[in-house]
Amino acid sequence: MRGAFITFEGADGSGKTTQVRRLAERLAKAGIAHVVTREPGGTSAGLAIRALVLDAREPVLSPDAELLLYAADRAQHVRELLEPSLDAGTTVLCDRYADATVAYQGAGRGLDLATIEQLNAIATCGLWPDLTVVLDLDVDTAAVRLAGRAVAGEAPTRFDLEARDFHARVRAGYLRIAEAAPERVHIVDASRDEDDVAVAVWRLVEPLVSGR
């Protein structure tokens, strides 16, 4: 049986990493084979790309260069890790995937959506998630959470430092994605308690992984 492909999307500060971890723990307790990965950075090549696109200390990239680097990361990720894992029957939990490019480089940066669609088609080789969970959070709450991470000593990413309007455009982009693909993309209110969010995520995931 082919593995289930589940992606998590949402604005910075929405709690994706936490919810991916919690879901992985639940799958482990249930004895369900799974792998946790992310974009960018799911492969050794991807780690180098991640440093270029996210590290605020790196030189500023043009939006087009940023877009192409994300596509390169995704192409390697699909071929090296995602497809082999799914073919082996392993459930894959991925922190961001192709929808992130539509939201960030499309809605956020204002790049041409038709071009992004073409690049995603090449990079994904037709691989799309069985389920995408969008953790939705209003921009101001997300900013408070990001500020808390900075106080805790976590270095901000290049995107963390973007203006409020950018993050508002990204959120709107995600909401449009969900509206256009309701059979695959589900919105979860990320402003709620972490435990409540985990319960909502599990309700979406359980039908895909039961019996595996």
Give me the pLDDT at residue 151, please: 66
Give me the pLDDT at residue 25, please: 98
DSSP 50: H
Give me the pLDDT at residue 59, please: 81
Per the CB < 8 A criterion, the answer to whether 145 and 96 are in contact is no
Q: How many CB atoms lie within 10 A of CB 133?
A: 26
Q: Which domain holds residue 196?
A: 5-209
Give me the pLDDT at residue 57, please: 84
* Segments in the chain below pLDDT 70: 150-151
Domain CATH number, residue 26? 3.40.50.300
Phi and psi (nearest 5°) for 150? Answer: -65, -40
| β partners of residue 26 | none
CB contact set of 199 (below 8 Å; sequence gap of 6+):
none
| CA distances to 23, 35, 50, 80 from 73, in Å | 24, 18, 8, 11
Token code pair at residue 178: 């969900």
pLDDT single digits (tens) 43-60 = 999 999 999 999 988 888
Say which amino acid occupies 11: A
Report the domain count for the chain: 1
